[in-house]
Amino acid sequence: MKKLTYLFLLLFSMFLNAQQEISGDNSAIVFTPEILVGKTLPSNFGFPETKLHKQLLFNISKNHENTTREWAHRLKGLHTGVSLGLTDFGQLDSLGIAISLIPNVEFNAFKSKRFKILTGLGASYFTKKYDPITNPNNRAVSTDITWAFRFLLKYELLTTKNVDWNLGIGLSHHSNGHTKLDNRGYNVIVGSISGAINNPFNKNKQQTLDKPLYQNSRYAYLELRAGHGWNVLAEAFNNTKAVYTISGEYGYVFNNVFKLGVGAHYRFYQHYYDYINNNESLVQDSREFEYLKQNPFKNATNLSLYLNTEILLDHFGLDFSVGYNLFKEAYQIDWRINEGWVNTPREIPEGWVLGEFNAKYNLKKSINTRLGIKYYLISTQKKPKHNAYTAVHLNSNLGQADFTEITVGYTYSFSKQ
């Protein structure tokens, strides 16, 4: 709980610092109230029946149309902001209410001013959570604070002098990043209607800036990073332990706003190592994974190749990567324990039904994803040769949370300044 709180404080401070960096331009303030309705999808068997999902959201953002910065020129219709939301998942007794605070970005889609993409990553506080005695049917979240992610495709329905009316459709997700179980997460499909009130505080005070003509550009970069994450193994091993990561990446920055790179990471999972080294149930003599004890350290590691994409906004970066695991041997234990019968005990009886190695297992064992926010020490708009950053990330096995992580990194740019 404390680790998640500290992580989200870091997340918001990074975003606010990024906003401070862009405060020197003439970007207009936009205030957007939004109403969302939809359906909360069941998180587990026996999940409480839900009525209409309802959310009231208020967003304060900057419209970067009137700025000379290159990333605002490249990302048409760019808004950056923070939203505060109040959510009723459709069943107050078991699911309660969530209060969300999410930094977000919005930009034009499909080369059209009418279509926009809005996405954000932040935190939610829940008034109800899983409890094996008082709330056993809601296995969605087991911590007070979770990650909160939202993605929305918006359509500009009507534009007036002061308000732009938009319809939207998308999804939201809440999860604690595998830092405590049971935690199946909330997945919600939503529709929305919103009214963007343009420049409500300094109307008619915006000086139009002359925008330079930017030329297309490309330069290479090399990046090294180290991460410290934490997760839990299973309900019977429900204390957080470390996941250590080192990684290298090479790629290109296009137009000083879009990064595309390939890399490799090496990870060590403390939970996997301790399970093997302590001779726990599934690695004991004559059990299925006895062979892992021949080299506990190696079998607790993970080696992966990945493709990474990132959008650069001055000090601020939004990145997403997808990778292929060349080696992740101990994930077999993870799957066996967590995908079979619920409440698997520490000492697993011979007849206990464990997770099957099916097609779903093969996909999750093979594919990893990573989503997060970076804060660079030097603005990327300056194309520095040397730069450093700190970041927070949610790592997953093909969308299923694996661990939460804090990262520090170094970037060398092969750019002509």
Checking if the pLDDT of 107 tops 60, the result is yes
pLDDT, tens digit (0-9, with 9 covering 90-100), for 368-405: 999 988 999 998 988 999 999 999 999 999 878 899 99
pLDDT on residue 77: 82
Considering the domain architecture, whether residues 186 and 277 belong to the same structural domain is answered as no
**Res. 211 pLDDT band, cuts 50 70 90:** low
CATH number, residue 267: 2.40.160.20
198, 227, 261 - which closes a domain: 198
**Res. 230 pLDDT band, cuts 50 70 90:** very high
Going by C-alpha positions, the residue among 230, 173, 181, 187 that lies closest to residue 338 is: 181
Going by C-alpha positions, the residue among 188, 145, 164 that lies closest to residue 36 is: 188
Residue 205 in any domain: the answer is: no
pLDDT on residue 360: 92
Selected residue with higher pLDDT from 65 and 145: 145
Average pLDDT over residues 207-234: 85
The tally of CA atoms less than 13 A away on the side-chain side of residue 293 is 15
Considering the domain architecture, whether residues 400 and 356 belong to the same structural domain is answered as yes
Around Cβ 226, how many Cβ atoms within 10 Å? 13
* AA letter at 329: E
Checking if the pLDDT of 332 tops 50, the result is yes
pLDDT, tens digit (0-9, with 9 covering 90-100), for 132-187: 889 989 988 998 999 899 999 999 988 888 888 999 999 999 988 888 888 888 99
pLDDT, tens digit (0-9, with 9 covering 90-100), for 349-366: 988 999 999 999 999 999
Average pLDDT over residues 233-238: 90
Residue 226 in any domain: the answer is: yes
pLDDT, tens digit (0-9, with 9 covering 90-100), for 255-272: 989 999 999 999 999 999
Q: Tell me what percent of the residues of the chain surpass a pLDDT of 70.
A: 90
Instruction: Calculate the alpha carbon distances from 273 to 76, 116, 277, 302, 330 in Å.
Output: 48, 46, 6, 12, 9
Domain total of the chain: 2
pLDDT on residue 203: 52
pLDDT, tens digit (0-9, with 9 covering 90-100), for 3-55: 555 555 555 555 555 555 544 455 678 899 999 999 999 988 889 999 999 99
pLDDT on residue 24: 45
According to DSSP, the residues that pair with 245 across neighbouring strands are 227, 267
Considering the domain architecture, whether residues 176 and 256 belong to the same structural domain is answered as no
pLDDT, tens digit (0-9, with 9 covering 90-100), for 242-251: 999 999 999 9
Residue 50 in any domain: the answer is: yes
Domain region containing 12: 2-198
Q: Record the pTM.
A: 0.86
**Res. 345 pLDDT band, cuts 50 70 90:** very high
How many residues are present in the chain? 417
Considering the domain architecture, whether residues 183 and 86 belong to the same structural domain is answered as yes
Average pLDDT over residues 46-73: 86
Contact 25, 211 (CB under 8 A): no
- Strand 97-109 relative to strand 79-88, pairing: antiparallel
166, 198, 230 - which closes a domain: 198
Residue 213 in any domain: the answer is: no
**Res. 216 pLDDT band, cuts 50 70 90:** confident
Residue 163 in any domain: the answer is: yes
Selected residue with higher pLDDT from 112 and 210: 112
Q: What whole-number distance in Å separates Cα of residue 417 and Cα of residue 404?
A: 36
Considering the domain architecture, whether residues 192 and 292 belong to the same structural domain is answered as no
Residue 338 in any domain: the answer is: yes
Considering the domain architecture, whether residues 222 and 194 belong to the same structural domain is answered as no
**Angle (CA) 55 58 65, round 5°:** 130
**Angle (CA) 149 154 158, round 5°:** 145
Considering the domain architecture, whether residues 223 and 353 belong to the same structural domain is answered as yes
Contact 28, 63 (CB under 8 A): yes
pLDDT on residue 193: 95
pLDDT on residue 4: 54
198, 232, 265 - which closes a domain: 198
Residue 208 in any domain: the answer is: no
Considering the domain architecture, whether residues 180 and 260 belong to the same structural domain is answered as no
